[in-house]
Structure 1
Amino acid sequence: MSSVFRCVPKVRLLAASLILGLPVYGHAQEAEDVERKGSSVLDVVTVTAERREEAEKDVPVSITTVSDEKLDVIASGGSDIRFLSSRLPSLNIESSFGRAFPRFYIRGLGNTDFDLNASQPVSLIYDEVVQESPLLKGFPVFDLDRIEMLRGPQGTLFGRNTPAGVIKFESVKPSQETSGYARLGYGSYGTTTFEGAIGGALGPAWSARVSGLYQHRDDWVDNTYTGENNALEGYDESAIRAQFLYDPGENFDALFNVHARRLDGSARLFRANIIKPGSNDLVDDFERDEIAIDGRNSSHLDTEGASARLRWDFGSMSLFSVTGYESAESFNQGDIDGGFGASYAPPFGPGFIPFSSESADGLPDHSQWSQELRLASNDWGRFDWQGGLYLYREKITIDSFSYDTLAGSIENGYAQQKQDNKAWAAFVSGDYEASDQLTLKGGLRYTRDNKDFEVSRYVSPIGGDPLGPLTVSPSASDLSGDFSATYAISEQTNVYGRVAKGFRAPSIQGRVLFGDTISVADSEKVYSYEAGIKSDLLDRRARLGFSVFHYTVKDQQLTAVGGAANFNQLVNADKSVGNGFELDLEAYLTEHLLVTLGGSYNRTEIKDPNLFIAPCGGGCTVLDPAGGGDGLVSINGNSLPQAPRWIGNITARYGVPVGDGEFFVYTDWAYRSKVNFFLYESTEFTGKPLLEGGLRIGYLWRDGRYEAALYGRNITDRKAIVGGIDFNNLTGFVNEPRIIGAEFTARY
């Protein structure tokens, strides 16, 4: 929930701490001590990065947290989870599905694959349950206690598909105290948002909390081909979460969670020939609120899930059980060629349309079960440990369709994929206080992963015969882990070093509508080296976190997307390397001005002189040397796709007492440098540097219970190409438009 501000020094102190994404002091006496100091200080950040509650400064991992007012501000205006992109160091998020299918990249490591069984090296964990399917990773952000981003391999305690890092979401939990909030907003394009929560005691041992969200945007993009105004880009999205906590105050507690999401709206709008040939500029006559397409466009997604988190306290040890179930059902259909007609069926446009393409992907059947049992020591002096077992199973059915747009969008192609993924792991981790200053930590995890996959093509859109079923059953096992040392230079400053190994099991790609084979990428391994410093400065009026890192990925899984054949193929690069640094800084510059600053440098490089892929199918200027025959090019030496070298972000909040409340101004800005959209390099499919800013002006009163604010997102209305479709022409998709609106929040 948003932070609460008062017009007295003590609460201004707490308010400012909240802006930085930090929890409020848990004890009134501590707050009173701070008030007597006569200055604003930052609170201690508590995280669960190592499955225990610890001060963030003591955890030997590069971490950024977001919560409270900062989270509310950057998520305003109906934003989906992509609002986090570039607002945390080393984090990029993009999607060719729009709101339904976010793709995460940490330190340049990610996956551009748009298939519904795509494996990503960034793990998203919601309330201790991994969200493996990319369709689950876009669950809306509301009523959260905090977000934690852990960079680098997390292969010991989280394990599954974490070679790049982990993003953890922690919901506000039920308590015996009655509390809640309601927030209503309205803005440009009819953007309407409502979210709220209410919770409290159900009895001496039971408490509950129910949270919900609704977001709506009107269709606002005209289809100039059909003549329909306000035809596309609207959506309706809703989500709910109900939690029940049983805590009799003895040696057992249980937290139960049920949640669901529904999304209906437009699929991503692909826009034909919006890139000026020979450059990466938008064409001169580009209009964000216009498109000309003759195919259908829609997006539908339903997800639901439940979890049970149980804890038994045996005194010297505690046993934890986390049981999770998730399910998704989706259907996304879009005009992939981004225009109308074709060169052989005029009229056509905008620009040259070699051939029409309209397709859809559906997920009619999906289920994910996970179970973790973890035993952990409780205050064993200088040595503490934890270990456990993890079980996982996911079953997926994927339908792929093609349509003949020129014949009224009749279905002319159909294929189906099925995948059954079973995995288990055993892990152990421990930390030892070698001295008052030096703490050593380490852990190991053994993983076994098996996949059974089959695909059949029933109808080919290009005249091919029926195919299949084709089957493949890759499996792999691995021993991953980490070792770190933390040294306390002083009570305020820690330095640390960490080495870690991550693992990702084999991936499978079977989009046989336009091809005849299954591609399998072998398992990849990541070796990471990191060192950093974490320090409280200026009597805790400022905080600094700085890390440097280097990693090597062996047999990295890459996805060759599109190309002239419009066919996805998985490949393994011999290796990739990355190095850079990350910075998190937060400080009171004055009693009323609080600033946060984040930044990162990531240099990535593919190293494989024998790896060649197909470049774009038409119109683009390929910069890579030819090799490998059949129009292929070498990608040796290229940076990884969607891996900006520079990311920077800044927020500033200035608040002053006015009347019986507080007036405040809050601004936030996020920058990322240029990116390659694909594995190969080309002039046109290089995304330009992107800078987007937000502004919020508001007033809080009644001890912070009420807030009225005006907000703006992408306030400069920056128009930028953020992705492309490369098999046909210079087709791309663009960032979100400027949204200006107002919000009212009541807390109780």
Structure 2
Amino acid sequence: MIVSINRIRPALLAGVAIGLAVSAVSAQAQSTDNAAPAAASDSAGLGDIVVTAERRSENMQRVPVSVAAVGGADLRNFQAAGEDILALSGRVPSLYVETTTGRIFPRFYIRGLGNVDFYLGASQPVSIIQDDVVLEHVVLKSNPVYDVAQVEVLRGPQGSLFGRNTTAGIIKFDTNKPTMDWEGRGSASWGSYNTVSADVGLGGPIVADKLAFRVSGLWQHRDNWVSNSYTGPSFDGTRGGKDVMGGFNDRNARLQLLFTPTDNFSIDLSGHVRDYDGTSTLFHRGALTKGSNNAQSTPRDVVSYDEADNNVQAYNTQGASLRAAWNFSGATLTSITAYEHSSGYSRGDTDGGAAVNFPYLGNPNGYGESEGYLRGLDQWTQELRLASNGDGAFKWQFGGFYFDSRDITDFYQRRYFLTAPFVASNPNTNNPDNWVRLHDVNTSWAVFGQASYTIGKLTLTGGARYTEDRKRTTLLKPAMTGATVNFPASAPSDVRLVGKEPSWDVSALYEVNPDLNLYARVARGFRGPTIQGRSAVFGAPFTMADSETIMSYEAGFKSQPASNLRFNATAFTYTVKNIQLNGNDSNGNGVLFNADHANAYGIEAEAEWRPIRNITFTLGASALHSEIKDRNAYAQVCSLNGVMVCTVLNPIAFTKGSGTSESYFVSVNGNPLPNAPTFNVDAAVRYDIPLGNGGAFFVNSDVNVQGYTNFVLYRTKEFYADGNLELGLKVGYTTPDKKYEIAAFARNLTNEQNLKGVIENYMAAVYNEPRVIGVSVSGKFN
């Protein structure tokens, strides 16, 4: 059953208005992990939330940065239905996450800044940091998060301290580390579609006070649940059937060792592996009709694909890191060396439907499939940092960072997969050379430093970084038709770009009283140049975008007016100059370009309230206004066979081509940034009812509402979402010692079918995850 948001919104807003809702992301966030989702504490007070947003452990209320924390137990609640990192979307104010390439390619947006490009080598302005290691390539950003202690979301430019420069912000994951005491935790769930998620961690001493270990694992599985209704002939041998798509297997393991030969020296060694296979994103062709963005009439669990072998996808990743720390009398020297490797492929029916179902002039129309094959990615990073110790008035840290990422990536287009013998003039015959091979190299080095000084109630902090970022893409093999090379002879096949920029930030935090801190921050960020090489598979030249820079201003307060109430809020504004954008050409291929600048302003707020010890309410919300500003920036809009298939609200600026190859272009000046929700509200509540045996029955509910979100660079009546709603519910029992829990849960409780993305030329829809109802157990020991 699909429940309209209009029937729920009045009750929802009334609940929010009286404060009976919580954004479950921060309700239980702690500096250490609890295996079972934590019940309300025995007191009505709220504990401190400790973050490492400035590479030191500090109370979140004393950090002059807009940061949100998600406890490990809360994250596992959201992922109980087999969800991946996308489960964080909307659970933190100003954070949005989406994908149109399945579980291996999440795209992140903070305060509206992100990248809609689905190219495997795409650059993103949001940086992912896992256990102090930057994950830059889009496939590495999909590394599953498990046995995690805490997630921190740092909003705004972050250039002074963490890995790569970023104009939008950082999502930082810290896993549970080995300790010299035996401890363990585990959680497992089973639900609809035979969805299974098991997340465990166990560790303890090997040699007392000298050597400890922790082993962690994650297994997520879902049966295929989407049917392919197409039963006709196929040019590549694809066959339909019942329940042939939508499933996945995601198997992960990690081993960590902690070696402390002396009190002043430690080594953390970590290694991890991932083995994943599943289904790439499913596009539903024709789900949108001209003039409307209502996609409710198309079933989520049925597609009609005539090609692409039912959208297969598989990846393997391995990685290791070594963190060594020497504690001198007044400072600590830290070295972090890390290596990541990944390979795999993703294939998809890119038009989202069988051509015979969408005839043009009486003939089947709209064949399309492609595959991206990451033959091998190798990423090396090295960081060296010296930081002062202690809690004195003056604190400092400085260091250097080196980054080296290299990959060989193939892109295969439709005719490579077809089975009929090659005939150059027949588009429905095999062309074994209809693919390209690219070699991408990205090297970067940086020096950075930060210092802070406290004078009475005022703390001043300043940081700076200088970065050199080099990109190179080489076409190792062009696409061919017979003996003809499908790449312009005049176009460069070996492109090199370099960006050299400073980044800096200055902030001030003033303690009005122990319960109220005011802060302000000014920051300049930088994102290096980008090369889009995938276009070569269509015989088109590479497209490129120069470096972009951002100036960001924010001010806010962090307050705890009572022991049971915490309320933080930030207002911000920024300008991104030379902003990197991505549009589409007539092949649906991404085209990189720079627009002059983009402006945005907004607010984000989080509140947590525990009126009595057995109930906790919190609320997270953000609002955003963004505009692209460039009178000479144009985007190609939806068209197929020379016909504009959607309702474009921007005036047509000019056209190219004629007849069935005619393309339409509009100015994007004044339009909002894509995938930048105008508002987001996330709320939840947990109520524990004590039982006679000392245990408790609990109810935990959460809700997320997403405001107007434009999916493309231009305005239409079809390609947006407005009022997306998702509800979650969990009820269960915790034992008297609060170490074990058994519960029933539902994610997307009302089975909302929300629009999450589009394929423009084919009026195709991408949907959110279906409702999953299940049971879960969790426990811990120490």
Q: Is TM-score (shorter-chain normalized) higher than 0.5?
A: yes
Higher relative contact order (CA 8 A, sep 6+): 2
Report the alpha carbon displacement of residue 470 of structure 1 after superposing the two structures with TM: 0.4
Report the alpha carbon displacement of residue 719 of structure 1 after superposing the two structures with TM: 0.4
The 5 A counterparts of 1:26-425 are 39-158=43-162, 160-204=164-208, 205-226=210-231, 227-282=240-295, 284=297, 286-295=298-307, 296=309, 297-342=311-356, 354-379=365-390, 381-404=392-415, 407=419, 410=430, 413-425=434-446
SS of residue paired to 2:453: strand
Q: Which residue of 1 is the match for residue 701 of structure 2? A: 667
- 1:187–1:316 Cα change, 3 Å: same
- 1:499–1:134 Cα change, 3 Å: same
Q: Which residue of 1 is the match for residue 530 of structure 2? A: 507
Match of 2:746 among 695, 700, 712: 712
Report the alpha carbon displacement of residue 702 of structure 1 after superposing the two structures with TM: 4.8
Report the alpha carbon displacement of residue 18 of structure 1 after superposing the two structures with TM: 8.6
Match of 1:697 among 713, 731, 740: 731
Report the alpha carbon displacement of residue 59 of structure 1 after superposing the two structures with TM: 0.8
Report the alpha carbon displacement of residue 25 of structure 1 after superposing the two structures with TM: 12
Q: Which residue of 2 is the match for residue 443 of structure 1? A: 463
Q: Which residue of 1 is the match for residue 606 of structure 2? A: 584
Q: Which residue of 1 is the match for residue 558 of structure 2? A: 534
TM-score normalised by the chain length of structure 2: 0.88
Is this contact kept in 1: 2:226–2:246, CA < 8 A? yes
Report the alpha carbon displacement of residue 39 of structure 1 after superposing the two structures with TM: 4.1
Show structure 1 runs of 4+ deviating over 6 A: 343-348, 461-464
Is this contact kept in 2: 1:185–1:741, CA < 8 A? yes
Which has the larger displacement, 468-477 or 496-505?
Answer: 468-477
Report the alpha carbon displacement of residue 137 of structure 1 after superposing the two structures with TM: 1.1
Deviations 1:87-107 (A, max 9, x none): 100000000012110000000
Amino acid in structure 1 at the alignment position of 2:28: L
Deviations 1:716-737 (A, max 9, x none): 100022111123x211211100
Report the alpha carbon displacement of residue 614 of structure 1 after superposing the two structures with TM: 0.8
Q: Give, in whole Å, the separation in 2 of the partners of 1:591 and 1:215.
A: 34
Q: Give, in whole Å, the separation in 2 of the partners of 1:63 and 1:464.
A: 54
Q: Give, in whole Å, the separation in 2 of the partners of 1:322 and 1:94.
A: 30
Q: Give, in whole Å, the separation in 2 of the partners of 1:450 and 1:195.
A: 38
- 1:92–1:462 Cα change, 3 Å: farther
Amino acid in structure 1 at the alignment position of 2:548: E
SS of residue paired to 1:627: strand
Gaps of 5+ in 2: 1-23, 35-39, 232-239, 421-428, 657-663
Is this contact kept in 1: 2:448–2:464, CA < 8 A? yes
- 1:578–1:368 Cα change, 3 Å: same
Q: Which residue of 1 is the match for residue 722 of structure 2? A: 688
Match of 1:520 among 526, 544, 549: 544
SS of residue paired to 1:473: strand
Report the alpha carbon displacement of residue 457 of structure 1 after superposing the two structures with TM: 5.2
SS of residue paired to 2:390: coil
Q: Which residue of 1 is the match for residue 5 of structure 2? A: none
SS of residue paired to 1:669: strand
Deviations 1:660-702 (A, max 9, x none): 3111000111121121111112111112321101000010115
RMSD between aligned residues: 2.3
Is this contact kept in 2: 1:24–1:43, CA < 8 A? no
Amino acid in structure 2 at the alignment position of 1:88: V
Q: Give, in whole Å, the separation in 1 of the partners of 2:83 and 2:605.
A: 25
SS of residue paired to 2:313: strand
Is this contact kept in 1: 2:26–2:70, CA < 8 A? no
Is this contact kept in 2: 1:584–1:598, CA < 8 A? yes
Deviations 1:193-223 (A, max 9, x none): 2221110001020000000011110001111
Q: Give, in whole Å, the separation in 2 of the partners of 1:239 and 1:246.
A: 24
Q: Give, in whole Å, the separation in 2 of the partners of 1:358 and 1:69.
A: 40
SS of residue paired to 1:324: strand
Deviations 1:352-399 (A, max 9, x none): 963200110010011000000001112373211100010110001110
SS of residue paired to 1:248: strand
Q: Give, in whole Å, the separation in 2 of the partners of 1:248 and 1:445.
A: 34
Match of 1:547 among 563, 570, 586: 570
Q: Give, in whole Å, the separation in 2 of the partners of 1:170 and 1:260.
A: 17
Amino acid in structure 2 at the alignment position of 1:730: M
TM-score normalised by the chain length of structure 1: 0.92
- 1:577–1:159 Cα change, 3 Å: farther
Q: Give, in whole Å, the separation in 2 of the partners of 1:650 and 1:453.
A: 45
SS of residue paired to 1:130: strand
Is this contact kept in 1: 2:227–2:244, CA < 8 A? yes
Q: Give, in whole Å, the separation in 1 of the partners of 2:105 and 2:620.
A: 26
Is this contact kept in 2: 1:20–1:596, CA < 8 A? no
Is this contact kept in 1: 2:190–2:776, CA < 8 A? yes
Q: Give, in whole Å, the separation in 2 of the partners of 1:410 and 1:186.
A: 44
Report the alpha carbon displacement of residue 537 of structure 1 after superposing the two structures with TM: 2.0
Is this contact kept in 2: 1:173–1:209, CA < 8 A? yes
Is this contact kept in 2: 1:521–1:571, CA < 8 A? yes
Report the alpha carbon displacement of residue 563 of structure 1 after superposing the two structures with TM: 4.3
Amino acid in structure 1 at the alignment position of 2:479: V
Report the alpha carbon displacement of residue 229 of structure 1 after superposing the two structures with TM: 0.8
Is this contact kept in 2: 1:180–1:199, CA < 8 A? yes
Amino acid in structure 2 at the alignment position of 1:373: L
Q: Give, in whole Å, the separation in 2 of the partners of 1:684 and 1:460.
A: 37
Q: Give, in whole Å, the separation in 1 of the partners of 2:109 and 2:32.
A: 31
Q: Give, in whole Å, the separation in 2 of the partners of 1:596 and 1:320.
A: 37
Is this contact kept in 2: 1:460–1:514, CA < 8 A? no
Q: Give, in whole Å, the separation in 2 of the partners of 1:190 and 1:715.
A: 17
Q: Give, in whole Å, the separation in 1 of the partners of 2:102 and 2:418.
A: 25
Report the alpha carbon displacement of residue 69 of structure 1 after superposing the two structures with TM: 3.1
Amino acid in structure 2 at the alignment position of 1:216: H
Is this contact kept in 2: 1:563–1:617, CA < 8 A? no
Q: Give, in whole Å, the separation in 2 of the partners of 1:552 and 1:103.
A: 21
- 1:657–1:425 Cα change, 3 Å: same
Amino acid in structure 2 at the alignment position of 1:229: K
Is this contact kept in 1: 2:33–2:150, CA < 8 A? no
SS of residue paired to 1:57: helix
Percent same amino acid among aligned pairs? 39
Report the alpha carbon displacement of residue 183 of structure 1 after superposing the two structures with TM: 2.3
Is this contact kept in 1: 2:203–2:213, CA < 8 A? yes
Instruction: Number of aligned residue pairs: give it.
Output: 716
Is this contact kept in 2: 1:341–1:347, CA < 8 A? no
SS of residue paired to 2:261: coil
Q: Which residue of 2 is the match for residue 3 of structure 1? A: none
Q: Which residue of 2 is the match for residue 655 of structure 1? A: 688
Q: Give, in whole Å, the separation in 2 of the partners of 1:706 and 1:118.
A: 43
Amino acid in structure 1 at the alignment position of 2:258: L
Report the alpha carbon displacement of residue 241 of structure 1 after superposing the two structures with TM: 1.1
Deviations 1:33-74 (A, max 9, x none): x99xx8411111111101111111111111100004322211
- 1:311–1:406 Cα change, 3 Å: closer
Q: Which residue of 1 is the match for residue 451 of structure 2? A: 430
Gaps of 5+ in 1: 1-15, 27-33
